[in-house]
Structure 1
């Protein structure tokens, strides 16, 4: 029997379900990395992650750690999150504050604050120094885990206990927490407090406050914070403008919102998809399809693609206004750019086409749904007349 050809061996390897060995070579680590992203079995993912963690180079892969924790937490397998993160205490890296902080932060991202605090408390016993970097990671874990009362407690007590002063990152984290909690007055008071302590607020500080205030229907206070930002000669970026746009749109001030886009461009800041979606949202809520289409066309002139939110606003509006041609064009664009949307949105267009007996276009959409890589589209069927 002849030996298999090299091409056959490559194909067999590509479709093999056996995890790659956790070796130390760059090629093997790349193989292990690819396996983790493709593996469907969470048990095998955890087993391979633990094996790969034994190698120094793998432990530098911050993105891979974030991916694994995010995936396990999304599946609510917090026991597995604990399994792979507790494994990290075996290695000498745990004595480095940067590595330990990463694990604390990952626990926070998974909403596992108690585990984050446990590791923080263990750091001295692991020969790991705790500086403001560690404290900020614990504060961040509080915010990500929505433990806002605990955040306040730690913020007031930890500096005295550990003889460590908070920095600007600390205040930015607490401001973010107060905004997430909806305690906007407390968030503003943190800005005042940090300035009294001689800490300079930065663009992150102001953007966090602007987002909280404008999205929290506190536009007047948002405008005051904007003025303070300008007084400090901090140049707003696209996120700053997007927060302001949402505030204007929520108040139905569409002329001012359009003027804000013009100001952005004049000052060298290009709108992004969130900027365009804000304008589209405003006009869609007013039932103004023409202006919504105008701002949709602006997306086509930019470097951005429309997203799920764009289509979710425009398709129902187009169907409501009887512009089935535009709704159909939007569906074609969805498939063209491979944007993941709910099948019900496409079904809405199919139903409108069926009402007008446009069967050829119905069949085309249904076929596109069947061959599209997203399974939810394959469920698309024309409604009965």
Structure 2
């Protein structure tokens, strides 16, 4: 009988060898010690030849060994430990999935492993019999699973196991294991995961077994991913797929590994995957840009890459995340490290600085680009011209066009449109028209944006007929207007109160195939609410929703403001809560409208609560919001709180205006504290805020009401000195004060003066005189006086 057919029923204890023994065909003895058995060893070796037997024993009776043939494993060239490794893996499969590999159909077994399965199943079955945790027949518990897992760990780490040599067979077995888990609906993340090698992971990746990659993802380390990425460095598309399956397990992608991935992904046709990965890295609690730059440089060196585009991607990532300071400093750091950013990256930085009003940073960067011989494109010059227009330096913007021509860069339509737009914004139409003609003389045809600059500004200034004429010229020249064109005209006519004309333009735009936008509906809703046409506004909102448009923050602000103007606090807050429920963040305009209506309803505690909420949400209060709060507190006789808000404005660097001071002055005068109001007028002038008629009339009224006519006339004279003529309010306040002081003749002189100046007395004027005459003719009042 051949060796592989021998069944061993017993082993003998050898006192001399201190081991259990069994005769080997070569004449020597297979040997295994008690210590080996206690440590879980299952191989009895012959010291004279390469043969061995597998010893299976029961813990309660270790002298009942069972062996199985290992001929097929020897044919594969596997080592002893590998034989046990696969056997334990099979057992692990059975424990976790409850599936006996020996019973799987032939079609569901991995190619090339049929010979392995038979012996592996026999070993697994023998292990089952040996351990009391196993109940023969396929009922396995967690203890059994961990015993099998422990065997895998022990033999996978054995120096006699060459995983790289036999990894393909082990990988296939593990793949089958994962498939069984999938069939049984078992999640690998809930189990102890066997060690995953690079070769095994690569096999899963190259076989597109992405579902299994996701299952092992929680157990992949950054070092393993790093080595795998290095192997796949010439396959960026596969790397992109791998990263998509690791996205929910960011622990496996540290800074170093992510940098490697960025360097590989930049080889794709689109830079978007690299940028997305960089942005995720920058949004995490990442190190500073110097550390990130160095990691990218190390990854670049490790992959043997020569391109510097990855550093430009870092700049672009900062720009897309709106991190101007990081982008700015990273630019100079790159230069110091010997890498010059390309013009596209520089232009993206300049655009960001322009959008965020960091014009100083834009000029510093532009100057450095010039010094570093980074050749500017027409796009670069257009950005800088836009910067000059934003700064109000229109003449320099025009000169800059000449500068770019000297440098050999021809202006384009965008160049001229930018300057025309700048001049139109400031109402300088004559210069804008000259530039318009220059543009045409150079062979550049005005486009829709050119005309929109003129039309928008003309509508803002109420010059609606001129704006309409320009639209006609556009149509005559076969230049199609767009939604911006019609929205500008609609806005102009709405503000002028001509809603019929505005609706006519709405109908015209629809007839030309231009779909009204959310902006269009917002304009109409606002105009209708301003005229108190709530029903029609509701119809517009319904129509807007029917067309699939979702109200935005602007829409809600318009509606909330409309309710607030009507004093409907309940309706306004109902919309406010609806806005929040839909995930639309309230803006400063929202809160200001609510504070206004709360002030009118004497609910200043709630107004103050909203003010606190604004600060908690990192919104910066502006002058309009402070004025609404101050007005509410003054109207509710909380003058001290109102004055405290003025000082809070100073702390927050919010400059008060004449409305702020006038409101406070009226509040103080209402409480008879005219001197405090006078101090506020002096403070206004010291801060360069010009008092207006309301400022002086408030003080004159305050002094007159308390009978201090000397000071009242002093303020009147001061008012005239700085160029303000007295108004009907000025005369009424003075006449009322004089009558109260029984200075009827002087009051009569003022009445004649105001008539002479073309100011007609009103009901308040006559009421003051009649009340004074009744007082003069009252004997009791005269005796009292």
TM score, norm. by length of structure 2? 0.38
User: Deviation of residue 266 (structure 1)?
Assistant: 1.4
Equivalent residue number for residue 500 of structure 2: 255
Match of 2:259 in 1: 22
Deviates more, 1:126-135 or 1:269-278: 126-135
Q: CA deviation at 1:152?
A: 3.3
Does 1:111 pair with 2:357? yes
In 2, the alpha carbon distance for the partners of 1:62 and 1:275 equals 37
| Separation of aligned partners in 1, 2:576 and 2:548 | 20
**Contact 2:350–2:362, Cα closer than 8 Å, also in 1:** yes
Which residue of structure 2 aligns with residue 334 of structure 1? 579
- Work out whether residues 66 and 106 of structure 1, in 8 Å CA contact, stay in contact via their aligned partners in 2: yes
1:238 and 1:185 map into 2 onto residues whose CA distance is: 26
Q: Aligned residue for 2:654?
A: none
Q: Is contact 1:105–1:140 with CA below 8 Å preserved after alignment?
A: no
Matched position secondary structure for 1:268: coil
Do the aligned residues in 2 keep the contact of 1:93 with 1:99 (CA within 8 Å)? Answer: no
Equivalent of residue 591 in structure 2, options 337, 344, 352: 344
The residue aligned with 1:153 is 399
| Higher mean displacement: 113-122 or 4-13 | 4-13
- Counterpart selection for 2:557 from 301, 312, 316: 312
Kindly state the Cα deviation for residue 275 of structure 1 after the two structures are TM-superposed: 0.4
Q: 1:97 to 1:7 in 2, by over 3 A?
A: closer
1:138 deviates by 2.2
Specify the structure having the higher radius of gyration (Cα): 2
Change (3 A) 1:108 1:330: closer
Distance 1:173 1:71 in 2: 25
Aligned-pair CA distance for 1:338: 1.4
State the partner residue of 1:358.
none
Query: How far 1:35 sits from its partner (Å)?
Result: 3.1
| CA distance 1:316–1:232, shift in 2 (3 Å) | same
Q: Tell me the equivalent position of 2:320.
A: 67
Higher-helix-fraction structure = 1
Q: Which residue of 2 aligns with 1:291?
A: 536
Equivalent of 1:132 in 378, 384, 396: 378
Structure 1 position 190, deviation (Å) = 2.0
Which residue does 2:546 correspond to in 1?
A: 301
The equivalent of 1:162 in structure 2 is 407
CA distance in 2, matches of 1:30, 1:202: 35
Distance 1:315 1:200, change over 3 A: same
Residue 126 of structure 1, CA deviation: 3.5
Match of 1:364 in 2: none
**Deviation for aligned residue 1:310:** 1.1
Q: CA deviation at 1:327?
A: 5.0
Q: Does 1:56 align with 2:309?
A: yes
- Residue in structure 1 matched with residue 478 of structure 2 by the alignment: 233
Distance 1:213 1:200 in 2: 21
User: How many angstroms does 1:92 deviate by?
Assistant: 5.7
Does the aligned pair in 1 maintain the 2:274–2:313 contact within 8 Å?
no
Residue 101 of structure 1 corresponds to: 347
Q: Which runs of 5+ in 2 are unaligned?
A: 1-149, 151-191, 195-215, 221-245, 266-272, 298-307, 603-612, 619-785
Give secondary structure in 2 for the equivalent of 1:171: helix
Deviations 1:22-56 (A, max 9, x none): 332438864432133455x8xx4655765687662
Could you tell me how far 1:300 is from its partner in structure 2?
A: 0.3
How far apart, in 2, do the equivalents of 1:53 and 1:146 lie?
41
1:201 corresponds to: 446
Q: Secondary structure at the match of 1:174?
A: helix
- Deviations 1:153-192, CA, capped at 9 Å, x for gaps: 3234443x42443221210111122234443433333222
Q: 1:107 to 1:314 in 2, by over 3 A?
A: closer
CA contact (8 A) 1:171 1:190 kept: yes
